[in-house]
Chains A and B, each alone.
Chain A
Amino acid sequence: MLSDRKLVNDFLNTRSESAFRKLYQDKTPHLYQMALRLTSFDAFEAEELVQQMWILAVRKLEGFAWKSTLKTWLTGILINLNRDEIRKEMAKKKAVSQVEMTEVRQVSPATGYDLEQALSSIAIGYRKVIILHDIEGYQHKEIAALLGVSEGTSKSQLFQARKALRQHLTSQKQP
């Protein structure tokens, strides 16, 4: 498997289609899955998001300083684009998702599908922090940088996000 640096350098040195395709094929499967989760499994939106991410990433690639991994950098672009998109939608709908502050218990989702469904149902801000922390394994420091918030905010968002997710799973289980 080629290293990230080699993939990027091969592309930047040639700007060729074949070099880009190699870079794309190496990174896109993971990012596409994340895009699907961010968009509640709306395939059209997820594809749009991935396409816009690559356009922005290729524009900025020469300036990428390798202070993070390439995957983290691309994830950051994806998340920022998703946030911009949501802002536009929110401005249109003026709809705000609120999580009811009821007591919840820990639950075990019966299947991965249940968990994906529950994840899709919670507010996007909560969903992002769960995806990044609990699924992708990022630390709060990294999440803070990716989302442009403080570490404290990342922690409290995760606390609220897990509560919302458990609440959703609880309500799914109740007859």
Chain B
Amino acid sequence: MTVQDDLTPEEKAAFEKLTYSQAPPTALEDRVVAALQNEGLVKKTKSMNQYLKYAVGIAASVALFFAGNYMGRQTSASIEIDPLYGYMMILKEDAKFKPGDPMEMFQEYAAWMEGLFEKGVQITGQELKDNAWEVSAAGTKTIGSEADSRVTGYFIIQANTEDQALAVVRDNPHIKYGGTIELKPYMNR
């Protein structure tokens, strides 16, 4: 028997079959980023996407906070609410959206929400995740966080008139930061 230097075709095939199937754990990425930030090698800044999520997250959490605080309380200037119609505010963000200082945004959203409850406008909302699916006869398309324009949250408001609902939308801080809001009436059935 001899010892050969070259790989046999069988040995070559065996090496080629070795795969790279074991993906790095997802937590490793965060650990590496944190280590680099601690060393001052990567800026401790949130990515734009994180800011976008943060902005709508603020709105949703403020909404829930005030909803809890104001539940069952009499407001000084209650409005008539049309029982037939509600309005959906659809918050959209694209490259023009530039979030400001998080603390300042929080205060602005809080003031906006407080103003609504003081007026007696009923509101609730949720932040929407980045990922989405667009389903059509052509198939199912995955829409990720890199999409040019994203729907990042919604609010449902109860108001008496369309003008009241539009006034609520115009005062929303989302507009000030470059976002857009679509207002859609719907009928309560």
Contacts and interface: CB of A to CB of B under 8 A. Distances in A.
B47 A16 contact: yes
A17 B42 contact: yes
Contact of B32 (A16, A43, A50): A50
A55 B8 contact: no
A32 to B, nearest CB: 4
A92 interface: no
B24 A28 contact: yes
Contact of B8 (A14, A21, A24, A106): A106
A115 B19 CA distance: 12
Please give me the 3 A-B residue pairs with the lowest Cβ-Cβ distance, nearest first.
Answer: A18-B47, A32-B24, A33-B20
A80 to B, nearest CB: 18
A29 B1 CA distance: 40
Interface in A1-59: 14-18, 20-21, 24-25, 28-30, 32-33, 36, 43, 47, 50-51, 54-55, 58-59
A contacts with B: majority SS: helix
B10 interface: yes
A175 interface: no
Nearest to A156: B5
A166 B4 CA distance: 10
Interface of A: 14-18, 20-21, 24-25, 28-30, 32-33, 36, 43, 47, 50-51, 54-55, 58-59, 103-106, 108-109, 112, 115-116, 134-135, 158-159, 162-163, 166
A151 to B, nearest CB: 14
Nearest to B4: A106
A116 B39 CA distance: 36
Given A17-B37, A47-B25, 11 more contacts: A20-B42, A32-B28, A47-B28, A54-B32, A103-B3, A105-B1, A108-B11, A109-B14, A112-B17, A134-B15, A158-B5
A79 to B, nearest CB: 17
